[in-house]
Chain A
């Protein structure tokens, strides 16, 4: 009798705990769904009330009802691509050094320091960019220091810790037997890293790069301070990256305070939010696809260790 009572109690406890775990699991999905519904509700009128030809226009000047998203899309694209081109090679090389070459004491010192970098508030980096980087870029010959390139530099710096940290974890997860095997058949250390370790850690590296891109495309304050916020479509002729641009995120941040709720401008700003959401969603799905294309879940788990 007593044993079955204890068993009942245990079953109840089990059920409650399972329920809690189920709830926490489901809550993330629920919250994302609610956010998306809210975005749709507020932003959908933009795609109904403003003709598509106007949304694809070349001018963004909302107080005159010019809602061309093209300059904002190009602005975000330029800044993000610039940041990725700078941060990915630098991040991967740093991670390879930390994971494969650095002595243990260096690694244990450097890795926490790099992770602390990720915690610097973006407004502080934006301020640094405004005070230090912008004059440097201006001295390089740009007509103003507030350009897409300045924004890309700041964003690269912001996404570096993510890329380095996750890549290093992925490299760490590669079993030592792989390295031993490669070295034993006469490969140099460089050949081992390039042909064996990096391919084995591929899925983790892809995640690192995608999270870095995600960080770059969603960043607002720092970008707003250093890109000049001109809704401008830069031309090749005058130096694509050395002109002021306006990103989607900065536009939402700068203009959300001025709009009357329910106006066309308000819904267009939420429309930009939907576009941003879809872009990050696409990047994430692409990453998941890329990763599960290899040996799937197993590597991903290992990479996340």
Chain B
């Protein structure tokens, strides 16, 4: 009796294994045929399609970059643009390793990164493509509505750990941040945690939760009344998150981030968004960048809630 059972079980396992194997094989087959047919449609639309641009980096920029790539298909159907996110650091590392044509970054490249690129024989060229206001956001139930940058620095370094010290409830502060590969993280580190001071070596408090994406920050924020986070203006939904008014210091006026205050340079946390190319852009990449900086490209920036170049 027992022997029978064991035999059945083995048979069962074997069939399960076969089933899974089949599943994997069909999945692979589908994926392969899927990408093939995608290529087919590409060539069908434009028989001369040959130019492909690899575009990777900042998650802040990824939505704009996708919208640009999509709109550009109508401008020049012979160019296909592949856009991926992953963070500014990821895009810059890919540029240094020579695997992308354009790296998106929400921060300027560091000197050390430029040196690494040069060591690999790549001369990175910087292009400012849009402006972003970095919004500091809270749960809607949090009574705090404005903070100064020194207060934010104290909060994010862990010198202030309770909301009551900045005029809120008696509750612990939960710090949310992007991962260290995010340009937004580095910008926030330099401009807020270190208050823009060059010799300041403060870093984020160790209990800071590092979220892998902008969406990670907003979805944790919506369910945690004690959390504080930051995100690009284009990602903030004022219906679900409270946007703070920020002052550069205690004597300055508190300013809410909007397209108007960011382009007038009244909001203290406005920054440039960049695209980097390996060397001066040539051919299709150069045309694409010219189009981005022109009125059609900048109109898309405004439509997505970011700030177009003046």
Judge: A and B partners, yes or no. yes
Q: Which residues of A contact B (CB under 8 A)?
A: 58-59, 61-64, 66, 71, 104, 108, 111-112, 115, 119, 130, 134-135, 138, 143-146, 172, 176, 224-225, 228-233, 243-244, 246, 254-255, 257-261, 263, 305
Is B96 a contact partner of A260 (Cβ separation < 8 A)?
yes
Is B87 in contact with chain A by the CB < 8 A criterion?
yes
Contact of B90 among A59, A115, A146, A258 (CB under 8 A): A258
Give A305 to B2 CA distance when docked, in angstroms: 13
- Contact between B90 and A257 (Cβ–Cβ < 8 Å)? yes
B227 on the A face (CB < 8 A): yes
* Docked complex: B195-232 residues within 8 A CB-CB of A: 201, 203-204, 206-212, 219-220, 223-224, 226-227
* A115-B16, A119-B20, A146-B209 known; A254-B97 Cβ under 8 A: no
B272 at the interface (CB under 8 A from A): no
Cα distance, A258 to B210, chains bound together (Å):
15
Q: Which residues of A are found within 8 Å of B219, using beta-carbon distances? A: 130
* Chain A CB within 8 A of B264 CB: no
- Does B121 lie at the interface of the complex (its beta carbon under 8 Å from any beta carbon of A)? no
Q: Would you give the shortest CB distance from B120 to chain A, in whole angstroms?
A: 8
Number of residue pairs A-B, CB distance < 8 angstroms = 97
B6 touches A (CB below 8 Å): yes
| Extra pairs beyond A229-B212, A230-B208 (16, CB < 8 Å) | A61-B180, A61-B203, A61-B204, A64-B201, A71-B206, A119-B20, A135-B223, A138-B223, A145-B224, A225-B212, A254-B210, A255-B180, A257-B86, A257-B89, A257-B90, A258-B90
- Nearest chain B CB to A148's CB is how many angstroms away? 12
How far is B249's CA from A196's CA once the two chains are assembled, in angstroms? 74
Nearest-neighbor residue (CB-CB) of A66 within chain B? B203
10 smallest CB-CB distances across A and B, nearest first, come from A258-B181, A258-B89, A228-B209, A229-B210, A232-B206, A257-B90, A232-B207, A143-B172, A144-B174, A260-B96
CB distance from B227 to the nearest CB of A (A): 7
Cβ of B240 < 8 Å from any Cβ of A? no
Contact call B113/A260, Cβ cutoff below 8 A: yes
Distance in angstroms between the alpha carbons of A229 and B207 in the assembled complex: 9
Q: List 14 A-B contacts (CB under 8 A).
A: A59-B206, A63-B89, A66-B203, A119-B20, A138-B223, A143-B174, A144-B174, A144-B227, A230-B210, A244-B207, A254-B181, A257-B93, A258-B89, A261-B97
In Å, the complex CA distance between A232 and B175 comes to 12
Given known contacts A61-B180, A254-B212, A138 and B224 CB-to-CB distance under 8 angstroms: yes
| B residues at A contact (CB < 8 Å) | 2, 5-6, 8-9, 12-13, 16, 20, 86-87, 89-90, 93, 96-97, 113, 116, 172, 174, 179-181, 186, 189, 201, 203-204, 206-212, 219-220, 223-224, 226-227
- Kindly list chain A residues whose C-beta atoms are within 8 Å of the C-beta of B8: 108
The chain B residue sitting closest to A60, CB to CB, is B206
Closest chain-B Cβ to A151's Cβ sits at a distance in Å of 13
- Taking A230-B206, A260-B113 as contacts, is the C-beta distance between A112 and B12 under 8 angstroms? yes
| A260 contacts B93, C-beta separation under 8 Å | yes
Instruction: Please measure, in the bound complex, the distance between the C-alpha atom of A176 and the C-alpha atom of B224, giving whole angstroms.
Output: 55
> How distant is the Cα of A71 from the Cα of B16 in the complex, in angstroms?
41
List residues of chain B with CB within 8 A of the CB of A66: 203
Instruction: Check B206 against A231 for contact (C-beta < 8 Å).
Output: yes
Q: Are B181 and A255 in contact (CB under 8 A)?
A: yes
A78 to B241, CA, bound (A): 33
Q: Which residue of B lies closest to A259 (CB)?
A: B93
